[in-house]
Structure formats: C-alpha cells, structure tokens
Amino acid sequence: MAEKARTKRVLVAKPGLDGHDRGAKVVARALRDAGMEVIYLGLHQTPEQIVQAAVDEDVDVVGLSILSGAHMTVFPRVLEMLRERGASDIKVVGGGIIPDEDVAELEREGVARLFTPGTSTADIVDFIRSI
Amino acid sequence: MDTEHYEEEKRRWLEETYHSSPEEGGPFVTVSSEPVEPLYGPGEVAGLNYERDLGFPGEFPYTRGVRSSMYRGRTWTMRQFAGFGTAAETNRRYHFLLERGTTGLSVAFDMPTIMGRDSDDAMSEGEVGRCGVAIDSVVDMQRLFDGIPLDRITTSMTTNAPASILLAFYLVTGERQGARFDQVGGTIQNDILKEYIAQKSWIFPPRPSMRIITDIMEFCSAEVPRWNTISISGYHIREAGSTAAQELAFTLADGMAYVQAGIDAGLDVDDFAPRLSFFFNSHIDFFEEIAKYRAARRIWARVMRDRFGAGKEESLLLRFHTQTAGCSLTAPQPENNIVRTAYEGLAAVLGGTQSLHTNSMDEVLALPTEKAVEIALRTQQVIAHETGVANTIDPLAGSYFVEYLTDRLEAQANQYFDEIEAEGGVLEAIEKGYFQRRIADAAYRYQMEIEKGERVIVGVNRYAHEGESIDIELLKIDPAVEREQVEAVRSVRAERDQAKADEARAELRRRAEGTGNLMPAIIDCARAHVTIGETVNVLKEVFGEYREQPIY
C-alpha cells in the first residue's frame, strides 16, 4: 500500500535519431505540473541508455516519444532489456506517429499504452496515475 | 477621417452599436495567442506610409512582393517534399509527381541520412527508409535521380548537418549525367542554427558548423552559382511550438547570423546574399500568416541594406518556400486536413511565396500515399488556376487588419532581436537555452489552451466521433528496405577503389585540421564513393560532437 501512495517517478526520453521533441517536452511538463517526479533524459538515447537510467533512477514508468517510424524496433528492445535487468515492473508508455495496427501489436507485446496525436495531457496523467 | 476623430468614433461605435449584442465564443486571439480587436480601421494604421512601408512589387522595401509581376509572370513552384524507402522507390515517386505537374523536386531523407550515419550504423537500426529516403553514397543519389536531368529540374534537399556531403553527392550525380556544376540548380536547407534551436538534427558543435556553412557559401558563389546555399528556416521553429512572431524573429535573426559569418569569413555580402533563401511555415491563422510573410520581406530588405550595406538588389530580396503546418493537422477525421491545408496554402500564396509544399491529409499518421499526395498537389493547382487569387499582386495590401498585423509582427520581431542581442547573439542565446525555453513555453501554453477548451480543434476537442476508427489507406515501409540498404552500402564499400577512398578521406582530414575550403575535398570523397557516415566520421574526429542540455 505504501508503494501506491508514493509519488510517481517517470523517465521521459527520445530514443533513436529523431529530434522532434515538442511532444515529449509538453508531456514531461504536464506530468511535472501534475505533481509527478520527472526525469527528462533528452534526445538521441539508445535503448541501453534508457534502461540504465530507468533502473538507476528507480522509476515507475518510462515514457518514450518516437516520430520517425522506428517504434517497432525501439519499444520491443526496451521491454526486452527491462526484462533482462529484472525490471519488468517498470511500465513502458509511449507516443508519436504510430499507426493503429502497430499500436495494437506493441500493446500486445507489453507496452502499457501508446498515445497518438490529439491525446490530451490530462488523459496521459490519468493513465500514468492508474498504473 | 483624422485619427483623433476615428478613435472617438470607434469608441462610440463600440459602446452604442457593437456592445448592443453580446459576444459569443472567444477568447478572440490568433493561433499565437495574440489578441484580436473586433474591428480595425484607419486609426490602427495611422503610422503607415505607403512609399516607405509598402512600395511597389519588385521595389524596396518589397513588402508587396519580391518580383515585379509576381504570379502573373510566373506562378509559384509547386514543390512536394517526398522520400521514403530506397532511392529506387523514391525515384518512382518523383516520376509520378513530375508526370502530374509538380515543377520542382524536394528530397526527404531518412533519419540516418539526416544525422550523417550509414544505414549499417548501430544507431540506424529501425530507422532506415522510414521517414524519408536512405542515401548512403553517390551511388544511391544516382539511383534517386535516374531519368531526371539535373540541368533542367531544380531540387531542394532537406539536409542540414551533412548538407555539404549531400550537395557533393548531387553535384557528382549531375557530373555523371553530363551536367556541369554551373548548370545545376537547387537548394540545400543547410540551416544549422535552427537545428540547435528547434529541430535538433545536429552533428558538430556550432562553431565548426558555421565554418562548413561559410565554406559552402564561398564554394557555390564561385562554382555553383544557381545553388541556394542556405534555406533559413522558420518552419521547424514553428512546428516545435513557437508563435508566429517568434518564427519570424528567430528565423531572421539566424539569417543575420549567417550574413555576419560570411562577412567575418572575408566574403563580400553581395557575392553570397543573393543565394540565401527562406523557408516559412503556413499555420492555420490566415491573416497572421499573410502578415508574417509581408513583415519578413520588409525587415530583411531594410536589414540587408542598412545594417549589412548590401548593394545588389538581389541581396535585399527575401525569397521563400512555404510548407503548410504539419502541427495543425489532426489524426482524428484526417480528411479534414485537406481543408486545413487548402486555407494554409492560400495564405502562403496571398503572402507572396516563391514555392509551396501542401501537406497530405495522412501525414499525421504516416508518410503520404500517392492518392493523398495527388490531392495535396491538386489543392495548389486549384488555388493557382481556379480561385483567381493570383491575378493581382498582394491583394490584401491596404486592409486595415493585415497592415496592422504586419506592423505588429515587425515590432515584435524587433523586440526579439534586441533580446537576442542582449543574450550575446544567436550562438550564445542557443548555448543559454534562450530559444529552446521560449519555444517550449509557447508550445505548452498552446496545448493547455486546447485542453481547457479555449482553443477549438475540430474533430479533437469539439465535433469528435466517439470511438472513431481511422479508415484511410496508409503507406507502409517494407522492413526488407533496411536489409537491402545495409547490403547495398556494404557492396559500395567492397566494390570501390579503396586506395582512392582512403586518400580522399585523408585529404579531407588535412583540410578540416587546417583552414582550406572543405567542399573540394568532400566532392572528391563523393567521387571516390566514400559514404556519408565515413565522411562525417572524419569531420567528427576533428570537430567533435554537440550535446544539448535538455530543457523542458
């Protein structure tokens, strides 16, 4: 029960080569304004760097933003590496230009939720609070 | 009516007539959150002096247009940005577009190419051919322009950090088709300052990046005179969330920084300034955008003449490409994006653009399908040939509202120039996070306005369909593309004359460590089939890599 009450810690990162960081930064700020602890890792992160930071920072949730189309490579890799590190309790969420079909597939593979353009930050905050 | 009388009458009208019926909706603000009055009249433009502030098209200060006859002489270039998968696939899309009446090409590269990495680089995994075409060497560039004569068609390439290398690939491709450097025309974006500010596709630190840019300016003014060496871009600044005034001001400030860098490198301003061009966004706020383009022309002409002492008329002209706003499009009800894009395209034309890309309705979901691209191109053709807006030049001049907005944007831009100056100039302002912070603030404010319902986005926070499923066709990139491209770059390396490639790289390193112009050495690397990643790596070893302090 004590764990549930603690402030959510969220790592926000931009994996891969894509530099479009508007969405990631807006979401990071909205999570912070909602009272969460946010670690914004910034751009050009490899899955290894993301997983290492998630473990080091002891976060509850990892949020990844990808607009370059590399989502089918990056999300499974991060999930796999979290499992390898025994950290599969860390939930992975994401957002970006991701077609419906790929959303369904990635959610089957273990991504907790993917948010596509038009999502309100309030919905993202509510979802992260609920997991 | 004199100004005083007008003010008095306007107050009377507001009290007696206007406020007799209640306002509905609001707040009445532009997409940049700037207030808009119920009515504009002569009092709001009392300071306007026709000769000084507007003039005639093709004459100083070019507010009404940079060409004397504008679209009556030549319509704007309909230039659709395209690229995906392999060079051969994108080549087929270019032929498709040319057959349907597009008048210039515009290359979208994939993320590895944008970042100067080969397709078999570890960081490229999953990204090859995804959001643009993969180009690893001149061999790919030759495939990209197969059957397209480079002495006749002009090409715009959206490349920044590795622009010098992609320009070299293009020039060598032309050379192998039989086109001399001075017959080839086109544009490289090559605007690294806005990469640090907004789009974040950098490789080297700012100072060596500026050297590469002045080398390109110097080389092209002598050898490739039809090449636009920098497309100074507000597009990405706006997409990152800035306001219209910030887009205008930050872009022109970047432009001034390039001009200063050229002068500091010992170049004559009139040798390179005529080849500088601009690239703006056309967002959904119709009048604000039109005013932005008009203000941009006027500010640039004055700055070039008065501050930089440019003498040639061509140095004073702010020529620009426009792309409609990707960030204004919505994933829900994607067909509505056709309508948004049409208004945005119309604003660009009324603002006097020299070329235009209209977004496809599906770009918020994936790269565009042929069908979606064709509708986007047809939208421009309808504007050009059916609506009649191109018949007369700058038709909104003299509108109280448009002239007021033009003045206001100019004044706001001047305030930003002062702030940037106070930060120590553009490079220092970047290093301090000045631009990044302002853009992030504006982006967040905009998002909150949507979430509070103060800003209506049709199909998103009003008129939404519950549980909508999107049923338009989407373009899919075959995962085999990455494997094919990895094999292709490996066979380029295996088949080339390795001694020649090594010598070309060694010469590039010597130049980079010294002060000689880098372009001839980069062109020799291209001729020797040195890949983009190998060329960048030589420069990284000499110049280092940039790292950003993340701000949100």
Q: Which domains does chain B have, with CATH numbers?
A: 50-451 (3.20.20.240)
- Report the largest interatomic distance among the alpha carbons of chain B, rounded to a whole angstrom: 86
3-state secondary structure of B11: helix
Distances from the Cα of A121 to the Cαs of A4, A115, B191, B334, B364, in angstroms?
22, 10, 32, 21, 18
Tokens found for residue B195: 């990469």
- Asked if residue B289 lies in contact with residue B323, where contact means CB atoms within 8 angstroms, the answer is no
Alpha helices in B202-356 (DSSP H): 206-223, 235-239, 244-264, 269-272, 286-302, 313-316, 336-350
Give the Cβ contact number of residue B74 at 10 Å: 11
Of the partner residues A44, A69, A117, the one whose CB lies closest to the CB of residue B130: A69
CA–CA distance, B362 with B25 (Å, rounded to integer)? 30
CA–CA distance, B54 with B71 (Å, rounded to integer)? 18
Cross-chain residue pair A122–B451, CB shorter than 8 Å: yes
3-state secondary structure of B93: helix
pLDDT digits (tens, 9 = 90+) for A27-67: 999 999 999 999 999 999 999 999 999 999 999 999 999 99
Which residue matches tokens 């969460």? A36
Looking at the complex, report in whole angstroms how far the Cα of residue B241 sits from the nearest Cα belonging to chain A.
7
Looking at the complex, does the CB of residue B124 fall below 8 Å from at least one CB of chain A? Answer: yes
CATH code, A7-130: 3.40.50.280
Distances from the Cα of B7 to the Cαs of B39, B42, B50, B400, in angstroms?
12, 9, 21, 14
Looking at the complex, does the CB of residue A20 fall below 8 Å from at least one CB of chain B? Answer: yes
pLDDT band at A5 (very low <50, low <70, confident <90, very high): low
Closest CA to B38 of B67, B8, B10: B10
Looking at the complex, report in whole angstroms how far the Cα of residue B371 sits from the nearest Cα belonging to chain A.
18
Tokens found for residue A89: 């309790």
CA–CA distance, B247 with A56 (Å, rounded to integer)? 39
Cross-chain residue pair A120–B461, CB shorter than 8 Å: yes
CA–CA distance, B40 with B22 (Å, rounded to integer)? 19
* Residue B215: DSSP 8-state: H
Pick from A10, A12, A21, A32 the residue to mutate for testing the B interface (most B CBs within 10 Å): A21
Q: What single letter denotes the amino acid at residue B366? A: A
Looking at the complex, report in whole angstroms how far the Cα of residue A4 sits from the nearest Cα belonging to chain B.
27
pLDDT digits (tens, 9 = 90+) for B357-415: 999 999 988 889 999 999 999 999 999 999 999 999 999 999 999 999 999 999 999 99
pLDDT digits (tens, 9 = 90+) for B416-472: 999 999 999 999 999 999 999 999 999 999 999 999 999 999 999 999 998 877 778
Which helix or strand (DSSP H or E) is residue A122 part of? helix A121-130
3-state secondary structure of B390: coil
CA–CA distance, B529 with B532 (Å, rounded to integer)? 9
CA–CA distance, B262 with B215 (Å, rounded to integer)? 9
- Asked if residue A41 lies in contact with residue A11, where contact means CB atoms within 8 angstroms, the answer is yes
Pick from B128, B361, B444 the residue to mutate for testing the A interface (most A CBs within 10 Å): B444
* Per-residue 3-state assignment (H helix, E strand, C coil) for B95-137: HHHHHCCCCEEEECECHHHHCCCCCCCHHHCCCCCCCCECCCC
CA–CA distance, B288 with B402 (Å, rounded to integer)? 8
- Asked if residue B213 lies in contact with residue B261, where contact means CB atoms within 8 angstroms, the answer is yes
- Report the largest interatomic distance among the alpha carbons of chain A, rounded to a whole angstrom: 40
Note the ipTM here. Answer: 0.90
* Residue B225: DSSP 8-state: T
A29: chain B residues, CB-CB within 8 Å: 440, 444, 552
Cis status of the peptide bond prior to B38, with omega within 30 of 0: no
Domain spans, chain A: 7-130
Q: What single letter denotes the amino acid at residue A33? A: D
DSSP characters for B358-382? PPPTTTTTSSPPHHHHHHHHHHHHH
The answer for residues whose C-beta is within 8 angstroms of residue B159's C-beta and 6 or more apart is: B107, B109, B113, B114, B166, B167, B188, B189, B190
- Asked if residue B161 lies in contact with residue B140, where contact means CB atoms within 8 angstroms, the answer is no
Which helix or strand (DSSP H or E) is residue A12 part of? strand A9-15
Nearest CA in chain B to A42: B550
Pick from B359, B447, B462 the residue to mutate for testing the A interface (most A CBs within 10 Å): B447
Cross-chain residue pair B331–A118, CB shorter than 8 Å: yes
Looking at the complex, does the CB of residue B195 fall below 8 Å from at least one CB of chain A? Answer: yes
pLDDT value at position A43?
A: 94
Closest CA to B435 of B163, B195, B161: B195
B123: chain A residues, CB-CB within 8 Å: 16-17, 44, 46
- Asked if residue B14 lies in contact with residue B38, where contact means CB atoms within 8 angstroms, the answer is yes
Q: What single letter denotes the amino acid at residue B167? A: L
Nearest CA in chain B to A15: B123
Which helix or strand (DSSP H or E) is residue B441 part of? helix B434-451
Which residue matches tokens 């068609």? B153
Nearest CA in chain A to B112: A17
Closest CA to B261 of B117, B440, B59, B426: B426
- Asked if residue B232 lies in contact with residue B185, where contact means CB atoms within 8 angstroms, the answer is no
Pick from B115, B118, B127, B328 the residue to mutate for testing the A interface (most A CBs within 10 Å): B127
Of the partner residues B327, B330, B477, the one whose CB lies closest to the CB of residue A69: B477
3-state secondary structure of A114: strand
Nearest CA in chain B to A74: B126
pLDDT in single tens digits along all 552 residues of chain B: 788 899 999 999 999 999 998 898 889 999 999 999 999 999 999 999 999 999 999 999 999 999 999 999 999 999 888 999 999 999 999 999 899 988 889 999 999 999 999 999 999 999 999 989 999 999 999 999 999 999 999 999 999 999 999 999 999 999 999 999 999 999 999 999 999 999 999 999 999 999 999 999 999 999 999 999 999 999 999 999 999 999 999 999 999 999 999 999 999 999 999 999 999 999 999 999 999 999 999 999 999 999 999 999 999 999 999 999 999 999 999 999 999 999 999 999 999 999 999 999 999 888 899 999 999 999 999 999 999 999 999 999 999 999 999 999 999 999 999 999 999 999 999 999 999 999 999 999 999 999 999 999 999 999 999 887 777 888 888 889 999 999 999 999 999 999 999 999 999 999 999 999 999 999 999 999 999 999 999 999 999 999 988 888
Looking at the complex, does the CB of residue B203 fall below 8 Å from at least one CB of chain A? Answer: no
Summarize chain B as % helix, strand, coil (round to 5).
55, 10, 40
Of the partner residues A26, A43, A97, the one whose CB lies closest to the CB of residue B364: A97
